[in-house]
Amino acid sequence: MRGTAFVRVAVAVGLAFGLLVEWGSAARAAELTVEGDVLKIDGEIRPGDEGTLATILAQGDVKTVSINSPGGDLGTGLKMGEQIRKAKLTTFVEAGVREAASAAAYIFMGGTERIVKGPRGVGVHAFFTPSREVKKMVRQKSGDELVATLNEFERRTQESTMAVVEYVMKMVEDVRIVREAVKSGSDAMTWPDANRLLDMKVATKLVEYTPDELPDGDWVYEVTVAWLAGWLDPSRPDAIDEGARAILERYLADEDRAAALRRDIDTILERVNPPSRAVALDRIVRPLTDQLVQQAVERSAEAANAPPR
């Protein structure tokens, strides 16, 4: 059955560009907010977001679009990218903080100037699980009906694939990012480094982090200790009990534990390798502080429930 075999190839190509995927289904819908002359896009891209974007851009105040999105509906992403290009806006992403993946990567490409801050910021992927509709179609149809449906699916997939290639060529005049998407694999997002994005014309400008924005062991340790010390305040809304505060206070005063904490932080820093202090706060300081506070709370509860000696 040549038609069926051919459409499998077409489906694979279509999925390579995120055309029929359940990508980001668990993410929140995109929020579009304006701060000064910066429009922030946060969350999953869904049909209808292009209308919200059009309404905001009609006010004429936006100059830069800052993107933080895992992707979503590709067709909507292409429309939003077209709107951004028509308005001659700058797009912006930041490694580990405000990144554009999947469909959102194509929104980023809509900028006339496309700024990447830090070592990365744009992610592309090959394909993920086909949508429920495609699975249902294959299960419920057979024979000539299935072949006809698959052939129609092939036609639409080819049209969509060409639309993506034409869009990328129009926006960045280079389709190498498409090849990056295709070869990324079925279960991983590829994040080309910033210099590679510049080489492929996906980015037009790179911004390096300043020394004050880069995390190191001393800074992470000092911030972690400060956050832990903040839990000693009994007036904070989420205050822990007195016993847990006493445990934390002893912990912070213990030089051996302080040295061990510093060694742990150095190990975590080497493993996580956060590109900026903002990322270090989210991926190291916050979870480490939460863990130590939780341990203090649990030890306090155990002490309170222990039988008297």
pLDDT tens over the chain, length 309 residues: 444 443 343 344 444 444 444 333 344 579 999 999 999 999 999 999 999 999 999 998 999 999 999 999 989 999 999 999 999 999 999 999 999 999 999 999 999 999 999 999 999 986 554 555 566 666 666 677 777 766 776 677 677 778 889 999 999 999 999 888 877 655 678 999 999 999 999 999 999 999 999 999 999 999 999 999 999 999 999 999 999 999 999 999 999 999 999 999 999 999 999 999 999 999 999 999 999 999 999 999 999 887 766
CA–CA gap between residue 194 and residue 172 (Å, rounded):
15
Q: What are phi and psi of 224, to 5 degrees?
A: -60, -45
DSSP codes, the chain:
-HHHHHHHHHHHHHHHTTSS--TTTTSPBPEEEEETTEEEEESBB-TTHHHHHHHHHTT----EEEEEB--B-HHHHHHHHHHHHHTT-EEEEETTTB-EETHHHHHHTT-SEEEEESS--EEEE---PPPHHHHHHHHH--HHHHHHHHHHHHHHHHHHHHHHHHHHHHHHS--HHHHHHHTT-SS-EE---HHHHHHTTS-SEEEPPPGGGS--HHHHHHHHHHHHHHTT-TTSTTPPPHHHHHHHHHHHH-HHHHHHHHHHHHHHHHHH--SSHHHHIIIIIHHHHHHHHHHHHHHHHHHHHSPP-
Q: Which residues of 51-70 are buried (b: 16+ CB within 10 A; e: fewer)?
A: eebeebbeeeebebbbbbbb
Give the pTM: 0.78
Residue owning tokens 């029929």: 20
| Nearest alpha-carbon partner for 265 in 214, 224, 212, 209 | 224
Q: What is the pLDDT of residue 304?
A: 86
Q: What is the pLDDT of residue 145?
A: 75
Q: What is the pLDDT of residue 138?
A: 65
CA–CA gap between residue 95 and residue 100 (Å, rounded):
10
Q: What is the pLDDT of residue 141?
A: 65
The rounded Cα 59 to chain-centroid distance in angstroms is 28
Going from N- to C-terminal start, the domains of the chain cover 2-207, 212-304
Which residues lie below 8 Å from residue 101, measured CB to CB, with a gap of 6+? 69, 70, 71, 122, 123, 124, 125, 189
The verdict on domain 2-207 having CATH code 3.40.50.1100 is no
